Amino acid sequence: MKLSDFKYPLPRNLISKYPAKPRDVSRLMVLNRADESITERRFSDIVEYFNKGDCVIVNETKVFSARLFGRKEKTNAKIEVFLLRELNHDEGIWDVIVDPARKVRIGNKIYFDDGKIWCEVIDNTTSRGRTVRFNYRNDLFKIIERIGVTPLPYYIKREPDEADKESYQTVFAKNIGSVAAPTAGLHFTKRMVTVLEKKGVKIAPLTLHLGLGSFRPVEVEDLSKHKMDSEYYEIPQSAVDIVNHTIDSRHHVFVVGTSTTRAVESSVTTTGHLKANRGWTDKFIFPPYDFKIVDRLITNFHMPESTLLMLVCAFAGRDFMMKAYKKAIKEKWRFYSYGDAMLII
Protein backbone atom coordinates (compact mmCIF):
# COMPACT_ATOMS: atom_id res chain seq x y z
CA MET A 1 0.00 0.00 0.00
CA LYS A 2 1.02 3.60 -0.57
CA LEU A 3 1.13 6.63 1.71
CA SER A 4 -1.68 8.30 -0.24
CA ASP A 5 -4.00 5.39 0.61
CA PHE A 6 -4.18 6.77 4.15
CA LYS A 7 -5.05 10.36 3.36
CA TYR A 8 -8.38 11.83 4.44
CA PRO A 9 -9.69 15.38 4.99
CA LEU A 10 -10.17 16.32 8.65
CA PRO A 11 -11.82 19.60 9.72
CA ARG A 12 -9.63 21.27 12.35
CA ASN A 13 -12.60 21.82 14.65
CA LEU A 14 -12.77 18.04 15.24
CA ILE A 15 -9.31 17.99 16.86
CA SER A 16 -10.10 17.86 20.56
CA LYS A 17 -8.27 20.39 22.72
CA TYR A 18 -9.53 19.06 26.04
CA PRO A 19 -10.38 15.58 27.34
CA ALA A 20 -13.86 14.37 28.19
CA LYS A 21 -14.74 14.63 31.86
CA PRO A 22 -15.03 12.15 33.38
CA ARG A 23 -12.70 10.14 31.14
CA ASP A 24 -15.08 7.27 30.44
CA VAL A 25 -17.90 9.38 28.94
CA SER A 26 -16.04 9.59 25.64
CA ARG A 27 -17.88 8.18 22.65
CA LEU A 28 -16.85 4.66 21.67
CA MET A 29 -17.10 3.43 18.10
CA VAL A 30 -17.23 -0.37 17.96
CA LEU A 31 -16.07 -1.94 14.70
CA ASN A 32 -16.97 -5.57 14.13
CA ARG A 33 -14.63 -7.07 11.52
CA ALA A 34 -16.82 -10.16 11.02
CA ASP A 35 -19.81 -8.32 9.54
CA GLU A 36 -18.27 -4.83 9.13
CA SER A 37 -20.91 -3.31 11.38
CA ILE A 38 -20.34 -0.06 13.27
CA THR A 39 -21.98 0.65 16.62
CA GLU A 40 -21.86 3.75 18.82
CA ARG A 41 -21.49 3.36 22.59
CA ARG A 42 -19.98 5.24 25.53
CA PHE A 43 -16.50 4.22 26.58
CA SER A 44 -17.77 3.02 29.95
CA ASP A 45 -19.80 0.41 28.01
CA ILE A 46 -16.61 -1.29 26.83
CA VAL A 47 -16.66 -3.59 29.86
CA GLU A 48 -19.62 -5.38 28.23
CA TYR A 49 -17.31 -6.64 25.46
CA PHE A 50 -15.04 -8.47 27.91
CA ASN A 51 -15.70 -11.97 29.23
CA LYS A 52 -14.25 -13.92 32.12
CA GLY A 53 -10.89 -15.36 31.06
CA ASP A 54 -10.04 -12.50 28.71
CA CYS A 55 -7.03 -10.30 29.35
CA VAL A 56 -6.17 -6.71 28.50
CA ILE A 57 -2.61 -5.55 27.83
CA VAL A 58 -1.89 -2.00 28.99
CA ASN A 59 1.09 0.33 28.83
CA GLU A 60 2.42 1.48 32.21
CA THR A 61 4.62 4.22 30.78
CA LYS A 62 4.40 7.60 32.47
CA VAL A 63 4.70 10.93 30.66
CA PHE A 64 7.22 13.37 32.10
CA SER A 65 7.27 17.17 31.76
CA ALA A 66 9.59 17.06 28.78
CA ARG A 67 9.36 20.72 27.69
CA LEU A 68 11.93 22.92 29.41
CA PHE A 69 12.34 26.66 28.85
CA GLY A 70 15.75 28.11 29.54
CA ARG A 71 18.08 30.96 28.71
CA LYS A 72 21.19 30.76 26.56
CA GLU A 73 24.45 31.84 28.15
CA LYS A 74 25.69 35.38 27.38
CA THR A 75 22.81 36.37 25.06
CA ASN A 76 20.05 35.35 27.51
CA ALA A 77 17.95 34.27 24.49
CA LYS A 78 14.92 32.13 25.39
CA ILE A 79 15.41 28.51 24.28
CA GLU A 80 12.99 25.60 24.45
CA VAL A 81 14.63 22.24 25.13
CA PHE A 82 12.36 19.26 24.45
CA LEU A 83 13.77 16.19 26.17
CA LEU A 84 13.45 13.08 23.99
CA ARG A 85 15.26 10.36 25.90
CA GLU A 86 18.00 9.80 28.42
CA LEU A 87 21.07 8.26 26.80
CA ASN A 88 23.36 7.91 29.82
CA HIS A 89 21.99 8.32 33.33
CA ASP A 90 25.35 8.47 35.10
CA GLU A 91 26.64 11.19 32.74
CA GLY A 92 23.37 13.13 32.48
CA ILE A 93 23.36 12.87 28.68
CA TRP A 94 20.12 13.33 26.73
CA ASP A 95 18.80 13.52 23.19
CA VAL A 96 16.77 16.71 22.82
CA ILE A 97 15.14 19.02 20.30
CA VAL A 98 15.89 22.73 20.60
CA ASP A 99 13.92 25.74 19.38
CA PRO A 100 15.03 28.04 17.85
CA ALA A 101 17.70 25.65 16.62
CA ARG A 102 19.67 28.27 14.69
CA LYS A 103 20.76 29.83 17.99
CA VAL A 104 22.05 26.65 19.59
CA ARG A 105 25.51 25.34 18.71
CA ILE A 106 27.95 22.81 20.14
CA GLY A 107 29.53 24.23 23.29
CA ASN A 108 26.58 26.47 24.18
CA LYS A 109 25.13 26.26 27.66
CA ILE A 110 21.43 26.69 28.45
CA TYR A 111 20.39 27.64 31.97
CA PHE A 112 17.20 26.68 33.82
CA ASP A 113 15.72 27.25 37.27
CA ASP A 114 17.49 30.59 37.86
CA GLY A 115 20.78 29.11 36.73
CA LYS A 116 20.89 26.24 39.21
CA ILE A 117 20.40 23.69 36.42
CA TRP A 118 22.13 23.89 33.08
CA CYS A 119 23.00 21.72 30.10
CA GLU A 120 25.81 21.95 27.58
CA VAL A 121 25.36 21.04 23.92
CA ILE A 122 27.87 18.34 23.02
CA ASP A 123 26.65 17.21 19.58
CA ASN A 124 24.28 17.94 16.69
CA THR A 125 22.03 15.05 15.64
CA THR A 126 19.51 16.53 13.18
CA SER A 127 18.58 20.04 12.04
CA ARG A 128 16.82 20.64 15.37
CA GLY A 129 18.22 17.73 17.34
CA ARG A 130 21.04 18.06 19.86
CA THR A 131 22.78 15.89 22.43
CA VAL A 132 23.26 17.67 25.76
CA ARG A 133 24.92 16.97 29.09
CA PHE A 134 23.24 18.21 32.27
CA ASN A 135 25.24 19.40 35.25
CA TYR A 136 22.75 17.67 37.55
CA ARG A 137 22.65 13.87 37.81
CA ASN A 138 20.76 12.69 40.88
CA ASP A 139 16.96 12.83 40.76
CA LEU A 140 16.97 14.88 37.54
CA PHE A 141 13.44 13.66 36.79
CA LYS A 142 12.24 15.31 40.01
CA ILE A 143 13.74 18.60 38.86
CA ILE A 144 12.20 18.16 35.41
CA GLU A 145 8.75 17.59 36.91
CA ARG A 146 9.09 20.82 38.87
CA ILE A 147 10.40 23.11 36.13
CA GLY A 148 9.10 21.39 32.99
CA VAL A 149 5.82 21.64 31.09
CA THR A 150 3.45 18.85 30.02
CA PRO A 151 4.37 17.91 26.41
CA LEU A 152 0.95 18.17 24.76
CA PRO A 153 1.06 17.23 21.06
CA TYR A 154 1.69 20.12 18.69
CA TYR A 155 -1.78 19.81 17.11
CA ILE A 156 -3.45 20.78 20.39
CA LYS A 157 -3.26 24.50 19.75
CA ARG A 158 -3.08 25.77 23.32
CA GLU A 159 -0.64 25.98 26.16
CA PRO A 160 -0.87 23.16 28.73
CA ASP A 161 -2.48 23.99 32.05
CA GLU A 162 -2.26 22.47 35.52
CA ALA A 163 -5.09 20.01 34.77
CA ASP A 164 -3.08 18.45 31.92
CA LYS A 165 -0.57 17.02 34.39
CA GLU A 166 -3.28 14.54 35.38
CA SER A 167 -5.41 14.50 32.22
CA TYR A 168 -2.47 13.61 29.94
CA GLN A 169 -1.62 10.60 32.09
CA THR A 170 -3.33 7.20 32.10
CA VAL A 171 -4.51 5.48 35.28
CA PHE A 172 -1.93 2.78 34.46
CA ALA A 173 1.01 5.25 34.42
CA LYS A 174 3.83 4.01 36.62
CA ASN A 175 7.21 3.95 34.84
CA ILE A 176 8.43 7.40 33.84
CA GLY A 177 9.93 7.82 30.36
CA SER A 178 7.40 8.91 27.72
CA VAL A 179 7.15 12.26 25.95
CA ALA A 180 3.68 11.38 24.64
CA ALA A 181 0.80 9.58 26.30
CA PRO A 182 -0.45 6.17 25.12
CA THR A 183 -3.73 7.91 24.45
CA ALA A 184 -6.08 4.92 24.13
CA GLY A 185 -5.47 4.38 27.83
CA LEU A 186 -6.65 7.88 28.73
CA HIS A 187 -10.29 6.76 28.63
CA PHE A 188 -9.96 4.23 31.45
CA THR A 189 -10.85 5.03 35.05
CA LYS A 190 -9.80 3.15 38.17
CA ARG A 191 -13.44 2.17 38.65
CA MET A 192 -13.52 0.55 35.20
CA VAL A 193 -10.36 -1.42 35.96
CA THR A 194 -11.96 -2.68 39.17
CA VAL A 195 -15.10 -3.73 37.26
CA LEU A 196 -13.00 -5.66 34.74
CA GLU A 197 -11.04 -7.44 37.45
CA LYS A 198 -14.22 -8.42 39.27
CA LYS A 199 -15.50 -9.78 35.97
CA GLY A 200 -12.51 -12.14 35.78
CA VAL A 201 -10.48 -10.13 33.26
CA LYS A 202 -6.71 -10.15 33.86
CA ILE A 203 -4.65 -6.96 33.45
CA ALA A 204 -1.28 -7.57 31.75
CA PRO A 205 0.98 -4.51 32.08
CA LEU A 206 4.07 -3.78 29.99
CA THR A 207 6.03 -0.62 29.29
CA LEU A 208 6.85 1.14 26.03
CA HIS A 209 8.20 4.68 26.31
CA LEU A 210 6.77 6.77 23.48
CA GLY A 211 9.00 9.22 21.66
CA LEU A 212 8.05 11.79 19.05
CA GLY A 213 8.14 9.17 16.30
CA SER A 214 4.37 8.80 16.57
CA PHE A 215 4.01 12.34 15.24
CA ARG A 216 6.79 12.24 12.67
CA PRO A 217 5.32 12.41 9.15
CA VAL A 218 5.90 9.60 6.68
CA GLU A 219 7.77 11.20 3.79
CA VAL A 220 7.92 8.31 1.30
CA GLU A 221 5.08 7.06 -0.87
CA ASP A 222 6.48 3.52 -0.72
CA LEU A 223 5.77 2.48 2.87
CA SER A 224 8.37 -0.28 2.82
CA LYS A 225 11.02 2.46 2.76
CA HIS A 226 9.81 4.24 5.90
CA LYS A 227 11.96 3.87 9.02
CA MET A 228 10.32 4.09 12.44
CA ASP A 229 12.06 5.75 15.40
CA SER A 230 13.22 3.22 17.98
CA GLU A 231 11.39 3.16 21.31
CA TYR A 232 12.37 1.32 24.49
CA TYR A 233 10.05 -1.39 25.83
CA GLU A 234 9.93 -4.00 28.58
CA ILE A 235 7.60 -7.01 28.73
CA PRO A 236 7.79 -8.73 32.15
CA GLN A 237 7.28 -12.45 32.63
CA SER A 238 4.19 -11.75 34.74
CA ALA A 239 2.44 -10.20 31.72
CA VAL A 240 3.65 -13.01 29.45
CA ASP A 241 2.11 -15.64 31.73
CA ILE A 242 -1.26 -13.87 31.70
CA VAL A 243 -1.32 -13.39 27.93
CA ASN A 244 -0.17 -16.90 27.04
CA HIS A 245 -2.67 -18.47 29.43
CA THR A 246 -5.40 -16.40 27.72
CA ILE A 247 -4.26 -17.58 24.29
CA ASP A 248 -4.07 -21.23 25.34
CA SER A 249 -7.52 -21.11 26.95
CA ARG A 250 -8.91 -19.59 23.73
CA HIS A 251 -10.08 -16.35 25.28
CA HIS A 252 -9.57 -12.89 23.84
CA VAL A 253 -6.47 -10.72 24.14
CA PHE A 254 -7.44 -7.03 24.22
CA VAL A 255 -4.67 -4.50 23.67
CA VAL A 256 -4.92 -0.84 24.67
CA GLY A 257 -3.27 1.32 22.04
CA THR A 258 -1.02 1.16 19.01
CA SER A 259 2.14 1.62 21.10
CA THR A 260 1.27 -1.40 23.22
CA THR A 261 0.48 -3.34 20.05
CA ARG A 262 3.92 -2.58 18.59
CA ALA A 263 5.61 -3.79 21.77
CA VAL A 264 3.59 -7.01 21.83
CA GLU A 265 4.07 -7.79 18.15
CA SER A 266 7.82 -7.17 18.55
CA SER A 267 8.13 -10.08 20.95
CA VAL A 268 6.39 -13.16 19.53
CA THR A 269 7.55 -16.78 19.66
CA THR A 270 7.40 -19.17 16.70
CA THR A 271 4.32 -20.76 18.30
CA GLY A 272 2.43 -17.46 18.34
CA HIS A 273 2.92 -16.76 22.03
CA LEU A 274 4.28 -13.72 23.82
CA LYS A 275 7.78 -13.79 25.31
CA ALA A 276 9.44 -11.68 27.98
CA ASN A 277 11.75 -9.09 26.50
CA ARG A 278 13.35 -5.71 26.88
CA GLY A 279 15.10 -3.51 24.36
CA TRP A 280 14.36 -1.16 21.48
CA THR A 281 11.77 -1.65 18.76
CA ASP A 282 11.36 0.14 15.45
CA LYS A 283 8.62 -2.20 14.26
CA PHE A 284 6.43 -0.63 11.58
CA ILE A 285 3.04 -2.27 11.12
CA PHE A 286 1.07 -1.48 7.96
CA PRO A 287 -1.20 -3.49 5.65
CA PRO A 288 -0.98 -6.34 5.00
CA TYR A 289 0.10 -7.69 8.39
CA ASP A 290 -0.67 -10.91 10.23
CA PHE A 291 -1.20 -10.10 13.92
CA LYS A 292 0.09 -12.89 16.15
CA ILE A 293 -1.12 -11.85 19.62
CA VAL A 294 -3.71 -9.10 19.35
CA ASP A 295 -7.32 -9.97 18.51
CA ARG A 296 -9.14 -7.01 20.10
CA LEU A 297 -7.79 -3.47 19.76
CA ILE A 298 -8.72 -0.30 21.66
CA THR A 299 -7.48 2.87 20.01
CA ASN A 300 -8.20 6.54 19.25
CA PHE A 301 -8.83 8.35 15.95
CA HIS A 302 -5.49 9.08 14.30
CA MET A 303 -3.89 11.62 11.98
CA PRO A 304 -4.09 11.22 8.19
CA GLU A 305 -1.10 9.39 6.68
CA SER A 306 0.22 8.51 10.17
CA THR A 307 1.85 5.24 11.14
CA LEU A 308 -0.83 4.85 13.83
CA LEU A 309 -3.60 4.96 11.24
CA MET A 310 -1.69 2.44 9.13
CA LEU A 311 -1.50 0.04 12.07
CA VAL A 312 -5.24 0.14 12.77
CA CYS A 313 -5.94 -0.25 9.04
CA ALA A 314 -3.76 -3.36 9.08
CA PHE A 315 -5.89 -4.70 11.92
CA ALA A 316 -9.38 -3.78 10.71
CA GLY A 317 -8.87 -3.56 6.97
CA ARG A 318 -8.14 -0.31 5.19
CA ASP A 319 -11.51 0.10 3.43
CA PHE A 320 -13.52 -0.69 6.57
CA MET A 321 -11.43 1.69 8.64
CA MET A 322 -11.76 4.56 6.15
CA LYS A 323 -15.52 3.97 6.10
CA ALA A 324 -15.51 4.35 9.88
CA TYR A 325 -13.44 7.53 9.71
CA LYS A 326 -15.80 9.02 7.13
CA LYS A 327 -18.71 8.30 9.45
CA ALA A 328 -16.84 9.80 12.42
CA ILE A 329 -16.17 13.02 10.52
CA LYS A 330 -19.77 13.31 9.33
CA GLU A 331 -21.08 12.76 12.88
CA LYS A 332 -18.46 15.08 14.43
CA TRP A 333 -16.58 12.65 16.63
CA ARG A 334 -13.58 14.03 18.55
CA PHE A 335 -10.15 13.21 17.09
CA TYR A 336 -6.59 12.59 18.28
CA SER A 337 -5.07 12.41 21.78
CA TYR A 338 -7.92 13.94 23.78
CA GLY A 339 -10.57 12.60 21.41
CA ASP A 340 -13.00 9.70 21.30
CA ALA A 341 -12.18 5.99 21.21
CA MET A 342 -12.61 2.95 19.02
CA LEU A 343 -12.88 -0.76 19.81
CA ILE A 344 -12.10 -3.16 16.97
CA ILE A 345 -13.35 -6.72 17.53
CATH number of the domain bearing residue 82: 2.40.10.240
Q: What is the pLDDT, as a whole number, of residue 1? A: 87
The answer as to whether 158 is a domain residue is no
Summarised one tens digit per residue, pLDDT across range 278-335 is: 999 999 999 999 999 999 999 999 999 999 999 999 999 999 999 999 999 999 999 9
Q: Are 205 and 193 in contact (CB under 8 A)?
A: no
Q: Count of domains in the chain?
A: 2
Task: Check residue 74 and give left, alpha or beta (phi > 0: left; psi -120 to 50: alpha).
Answer: left
Rounded Cα distance, 20 and 26, in Å = 6
Q: What is the pLDDT, as a whole number, of residue 25? A: 97
Same domain, 56 and 73: no
Is residue 258 over pLDDT 80? yes
Same domain, 103 and 56: no
Q: What is the pLDDT, as a whole number, of residue 215? A: 77
Of the pLDDT bands very low, low, confident and very high (cuts 50, 70, 90), residue 126 is confident
User: Which secondary structure element, helix H or strand E, spans residue 131, and what is its range?
Assistant: strand 129-134
Same domain, 227 and 312: yes
The answer as to whether 38 is a domain residue is yes
Same domain, 229 and 295: yes
Q: What is the pLDDT, as a whole number, of residue 136? A: 81
Same domain, 28 and 97: no
Q: What is the pLDDT, as a whole number, of residue 237? A: 98
Same domain, 235 and 296: yes
Q: Are 181 and 63 in contact (CB under 8 A)?
A: yes
End position of a domain, from candidates 115, 147, 179: 147
End position of a domain, from candidates 117, 147, 177: 147
Same domain, 284 and 182: yes
Same domain, 58 and 89: no
Same domain, 306 and 232: yes
CATH number of the domain bearing residue 285: 3.40.1780.10
Q: Which domain holds residue 290?
A: 3-63+164-344
Average pLDDT, the chain: 95
Q: Are 26 and 340 in contact (CB under 8 A)?
A: yes
Same domain, 126 and 179: no
The residues, any chain, with a CB within 8 Å of residue 227's CB and separated by 6 or more, are 282, 284
The answer as to whether 318 is a domain residue is yes
The answer as to whether 152 is a domain residue is no
The answer as to whether 327 is a domain residue is yes
The answer as to whether 100 is a domain residue is yes
Summarised one tens digit per residue, pLDDT across range 79-123 is: 999 999 888 888 999 999 999 999 999 999 999 998 889 999 999
The answer as to whether 155 is a domain residue is no
Same domain, 140 and 11: no
Q: What angle do CA 13, 18, 22 make, to 5 degrees?
A: 130
Q: Mean pLDDT over residues 246-262, rounded?
A: 97
Same domain, 129 and 178: no
Tell me the CA distances in angstroms from 320 to 32, 110, 121, 257, 263, one per residue in order. Answer: 10, 49, 48, 19, 25
Give pTM, 2 decimals. Answer: 0.93
The answer as to whether 156 is a domain residue is no
